[in-house]
Structure formats: C-alpha cells, structure tokens
Amino acid sequence: MPQPLGHSAADALRTPLTVRLPDGRRLGFTRYGNPAHQVVVFHHGFGSSSLELPPSVALLNRLKLQLLAPDRPGVGESDVYRRLTFPSFAHDVAAALDALHITGPVGVMGWSVGGVHALAQAACYPERVAAVQLLSTCLPLGEPAAYRHLTRTWKLLRWGQTGFPWLNRTTFLWLSRQWARHPDRTIDGFVLLMRQAEQDVTGQPGFRELLRDAAVYGFAHHGRGVYDDAQAWCRRPGFFIEDVQAPTVLWHGTADGIWGPDNIPYLANRLANARLNLLPDEGHMLYLENWEAILTEMRQLLDEQLVSRYQPAAARI
C-alpha cells in the first residue's frame, strides 16, 4: 500500500508517496493535485526527479487533473534496480498504479529522456494510456533506426557511455556529491553551460530553485539511478515506437540547445496518431513557461478520448 512521507503547508496538494512493488522494491512518487481527479503520469528528465514540476494547484483543480510523477529506480525514495530498462520501468509504473487502485486509462507525459519512458509506457500498456505528450523529447540512443538520425555529438556521447562505463559511473558519483554539498554552485555552473534559450528560463527565480532541488533529489543513492538510466537509454529500447497508438503531441522548441528539433519530425512520422507543436525560439525547458497550455491540452486530449470511447455505444441506442 502507498505510504505518504509527509508534506509542508507551502507544498499544498504536493504529496510524496512510496509504493511497494511486487518484488518488494520501493517506488517513490510525487503526487500533485487532488487524488480524486483524473490521473496523468509524468516521467521526469535525465539527472532530475519528480520534483521538477512547477507549482500549479489552482490550475490542476480547475482542470480536474492530478499528476503522479514517479522517480525512476535509484532516484529519490525509489530503490536502485540495476537491470533497469524502458519496459521494466513501464511495468513498475503499471504495478504502482494497481497499488494505488488506478485502473482506468491515464494520460502520460514526459520531459527530455522522460519522453522515451512515456513512449515505452504507451507502447507496453496501450489499453491503459489514453493520451501522450512528449515535452522536448529525445530519441532512444540504442535503437539502430533512431541512431542513424542522431547528431555526431549524441553518437559520441553514446560511445563514451557504452565504451567507458566505469568513467561515467565515477562522473555521476562525483556529481552526486557536488549536488549534495554545493547545490547552488552546481546549478549555477550548469546554467552557464547552457545556450541562451535555456539560460533565459533556468536562471529565472523560482525555476532555478525548482530545477536545483529536483537534481539534488535525482542524484540520491550516489548517482546510481542516473547512471542506470543512462545505460538503459544507450541500450536497445526493448519496445517499438510504432506500437504507440494513443494520440500524441510533441512539444519542441526551435532553439532547443540540448536536443535540437531536426529529428523530431522523424519521430512524429513513426507515431500513428501524432501532432507536432514547434515553438519558435523556445529551448529545452519550454515546459516550465508553457505549463498551463500543456496541461490544458492534456485535459482536452483526455476528454476527446472519453467521448470516442462512449460514442459507438451511444450511436447504437
């Protein structure tokens, strides 16, 4: 059964939870909003955590949505799972939804690498996913078809991750210590490395602290979860993108300095029911400044799917 970890008055309607999975592992969540409302599962970005979502209590109440943001194994309160894959985490989330007694179709969204996890969720459990939003998403680095569309930089990064795993493990361990001991200095250092579109958003008061705290939580367990997530990202994904049948909207910025928009139309073309929403001059953190529009669109997508499910039955009456 899920057990609340407690929350402060300043984080009203933001509740940390843990769920026991069938194999005994703990999976941590952050719930945003009213548990009586429609569920949307949010998959966090790489090196981050479920704490990366902006406060939106009034908006969630108005739209009658709740966000359930799971922390991947080795992140936050989630136990380390060294055999992490995209399908294994999709199975973890499905088991956690069962433990939370959530049986109906849900919305699914993911930011950055979380977008690949969102695709895996929809591909592995098509009957449980009503709509998908991919926010500044990436491609699975280990899929041969997608690999041909990667930039030279991303191909080099994948080569380094797979060819020198010990070096990457050491790097993530060092970063975990930096986030734990010097969080402000570390977030400021990352902001300086970003391109202008990302700096303009990340450096804003409020967003800076949110992303800082999400990274500190993300690098728990000595950075083990971040390393395992990177390894899973670089291996064959274990699911087929074409198996995603739910309506899917891809939000991407034309000025994204982390994952450029050039191969996003390629990804959209592999999805059966996709729509591409390119935002001029927006960067990788576009979800922070467009959160109301994104959630409003998810509400519309879910309503449309609800109507389509019941329309055939009504037509026969």
Length of the chain: 317
For domain 3-316, the question of CATH label 3.40.50.1820 is answered with yes
Report residue 11's pLDDT band, with 50, 70 and 90 as the boundaries: very low
User: pLDDT tens-digit profile of 67-106?
Assistant: 999 999 999 999 999 889 999 999 999 999 999 999 889 9
The domain spans of the chain are 3-316
Residue pair 72/214 in contact by the 8 Å Cβ criterion: no
**Number of neighbouring beta carbons within 10 Å of residue 210:** 18
pTM: 0.93
Contacts for 109 with CB less than 8 Å, ≥ 6 apart:
40, 41, 42, 43, 118, 132, 133, 134, 135, 294, 298
Query: What is the C-alpha separation between 243 and 249, in angstroms, rounded?
Result: 16
Closest C-alpha to 51, from 25, 78, 91: 78
The yes-or-no verdict on residue 301 having pLDDT over 50 is yes
User: pLDDT tens-digit profile of 116-151?
Assistant: 999 999 999 999 999 999 999 999 999 999 999 999
